[in-house]
Amino acid sequence: MYENLDELRQEALQCKNCGLHAGRHNVVFGTGRPDAKIMLIGEGPGENEDLQGEPFVGRSGQLMDKMLEYAGFSRKTNVYIANMVKCRPPQNRDPAPDEITACLPWLRGQVSILRPAIIVCVGRIAATSLIQKDFKVTKQHGQFIQRGSTLMMGTFHPAALLRNPASKPAAMEDLLALAAKARELGILP
Ligand code: URA
């Protein structure tokens, strides 16, 4: 068992559990507050993330940061952000099921160290992997689902919002519902 996120990260930096390690510039482990009670989980690093070693730093990440900020959240103050897979899939293709499985121990480690009260699955890949196999983001976004001591919620991926801005208001509602829930739980002032 790992004591803290830094120890887990050091180990993850050496990972060769799947073929994605061969093409990576960086393992994109995760970022944000180590004491966050809210964790956001995306799909996998894109080009910018691979080059910088940090999740959601490209165009879609900038949109996500802006929306999070509006709802009272930021990676600097109160959330932790990670991905299903820590290495970039070539040409930004979806991570394959065996790659997700190979990477799962790192995500499990992050969740067991952080013990988040709420996990937000950002996009289809995270929601179908972690909430429900046939999760439909367009229909089920914004709903809180209790799993043990953790609340789970699925929402739109910011890349999908860039392709389809008509979904932005619904995505913003999800984050405002997240803020309301966080206040209810005493996580947000
Ligand atoms: N998309 C994701 O799902 N994760 C990132 O880190 C960047 C883009």
Q: Please say if the pLDDT value at position 48 is more than 90.
A: yes
How many helices (H) and strands (E) in the chain? 8, 6
CA–CA gap between residue 60 and residue 135 (Å, rounded): 22
- With a 6 Å cutoff on the Cβ, whether 43 touches ligand 1 is yes
- With a 6 Å cutoff on the Cβ, whether 42 touches ligand 1 is yes
Q: In which band, very low, low, confident or very high, does the pLDDT at 44 lie, cut at 50, 70 and 90?
A: very high
Q: In which band, very low, low, confident or very high, does the pLDDT at 1 lie, cut at 50, 70 and 90?
A: confident
CA–CA gap between residue 47 and residue 52 (Å, rounded): 9
Q: Torsion-angle region of residue 49: left (phi > 0), alpha (psi -120 to 50) or beta?
A: alpha
CA–CA gap between residue 169 and residue 112 (Å, rounded): 32
Give the pLDDT mean for 8-22.
98
- With a 6 Å cutoff on the Cβ, whether 156 touches ligand 1 is no
The string of pLDDT tens digits covering residues 73-93 is 999 999 999 999 999 999 999
Task: Calculate how far, in angstroms, residue 46's C-alpha sits from the geometric centre of ligand 1.
Answer: 6
pLDDT score at 107? 98
Task: Calculate how far, in angstroms, residue 140's C-alpha sits from the geometric centre of ligand 1.
Answer: 21
The answer to whether 78 touches 189, Cβ cutoff 8 Å, is no
Task: Calculate how far, in angstroms, residue 143's C-alpha sits from the geometric centre of ligand 1.
Answer: 22
Structure tokens at 81: 């952000």
Q: Please say if the pLDDT value at position 14 is more than 80.
A: yes
CA–CA gap between residue 158 and residue 74 (Å, rounded): 15
Q: 140: which residues sit within 8 A by CB, 6+ positions away?
A: 127, 131, 132, 154
The string of pLDDT tens digits covering residues 93-127 is 999 999 999 999 999 999 999 999 999 999 999 99
Q: Going edge to edge, which strands form the sheet with 118-122? A: 31-32, 79-83, 38-42, 118-122, 150-155, 145-147
CA–CA gap between residue 107 and residue 164 (Å, rounded): 29
Task: Calculate how far, in angstroms, residue 188's C-alpha sits from the geometric centre of ligand 1.
Answer: 25
